Amino acid sequence: MLPSRPQPPQRLPAVFSPYPSTDAPGLRGADLDRASERRGDADWVAGLRPQADWLPIWRYRCAIDEGQPQRLRWAELAAEPERAIFLGLRPDDGRAVFCFDASHDNDLGERLRFADLRGAVPVLETADAALLAYARAMVYWQRQHRHCGRCGGATQPRQAGHVLHCPACEVEHYPRSDPSMLCLARDPQDRALLGRQPQWPESLYSVLAGFAEPGETIEDCVAREIWEEARVRIHGTRYVASQPWPFPASVLLGFHAQAQADTPQVEQDELADARWFSREELAEGLSARRLHVPPPFTLSFLLLARWYDEAAPAPLLSLLPGPGR
């Protein structure tokens, strides 16, 4: 069974982050016992199916209606899904939850409302958003691995959909999450380094981000990304929080870093702009709606808010327009 979730202790030494943190970003905390040790028991998994909740994913979109994930029952499925994925058991009533790729079911595509998960997060309960993030990530991984990356043979699901086996060369493929770093760098004046990608709206700024490359540590990756994107040198990173990010297959790791007093430059890389923002500049821009930051469910926002709220008269969240923000 799912162990009861620990409550954050009142006091912890400064090197530890409380778990779960009280301002954790969204897309985490699915209320589910993953029962990973029982996935290999095919009879047990098959026995769960008739009473289970079924979450369809249609072309990477999730079935959501009036702020609720749409759960289908066994009798509503046109046929048994070929590659059903067991997600886990609900801790309240033990009911199993499965997801499946419904992309070829045009009837279902018309009958249900399918929405982009990123846009729907603000209207979903936190646990529901996390469940759909898990489902979307699993369906994406299965779709991307229908053929073996080693020999090209067709793969077959095992372990209730959590392993894809290649019968031709006996390789097993497992779900992957690509680590991606987000970092809020702070200069000696305690200003925050924020950047804007060229395809974003002109008023939107966020912390800098990049993928870890083979052969480097997470700390190396953070320093390299900030140097490559903004020509700013950092000398120290501190881990803050993480977030699953199934768009399409990442886990985001969030940091604060101490930076040198370098002037940001962006000509050498992909950013359209990068600047130091004081708390006052950020507050003025957000209040006047000429500046925007990522929504509160994102790790980017959490990194920004943790910095801003250290020394501001009101929380960063209070500067955003509501509801839904």
Give the binding site for Zn ion (CB under 5 A).
Answer: 148, 150-151, 153, 166, 168-169, 171
What's the min distance (Å) between Cβ of 147 and Zn ion? 8
Alpha-carbon distances of 77 from 102, 198, 204, 241, rounded to whole Å:
10, 43, 42, 39
CB 53 within 8 A of CB 95: yes
Q: Which is nearer to Zn ion, 171 or 320 (CB)?
A: 171
Across the strands, what pairs with 69? 64
- Count of CA atoms in the C-beta half-sphere (13 A) of 231: 11
Per DSSP, 196 falls in state E
Q: Which is nearer to Zn ion, 46 or 169 (CB)?
A: 169
Residue 304, sorted as left (phi over 0), alpha (psi -120 to 50) or beta, turns out to be alpha
What's the min distance (Å) between Cβ of 159 and Zn ion? 17
What's the min distance (Å) between Cβ of 160 and Zn ion? 21
What's the min distance (Å) between Cβ of 214 and Zn ion? 22
What's the length of the chain?
325
262, burial (CB in 10 Å: exposed 0-12, middle 13-18, buried 19+)? middle
Q: Which is nearer to Zn ion, 152 or 179 (CB)?
A: 152
Q: Which is nearer to Zn ion, 151 or 261 (CB)?
A: 151
What's the min distance (Å) between Cβ of 172 and Zn ion? 10
What's the min distance (Å) between Cβ of 154 and Zn ion? 9
Q: Which is nearer to Zn ion, 104 or 150 (CB)?
A: 150
Residue (of 87, 108, 89, 90) closest to 98 by Cα position? 87
CB 63 within 8 A of CB 113: yes
How far is the C-alpha of 86 from the C-alpha of 288, rounded, in Å?
47
Q: Which is nearer to Zn ion, 171 or 266 (CB)?
A: 171
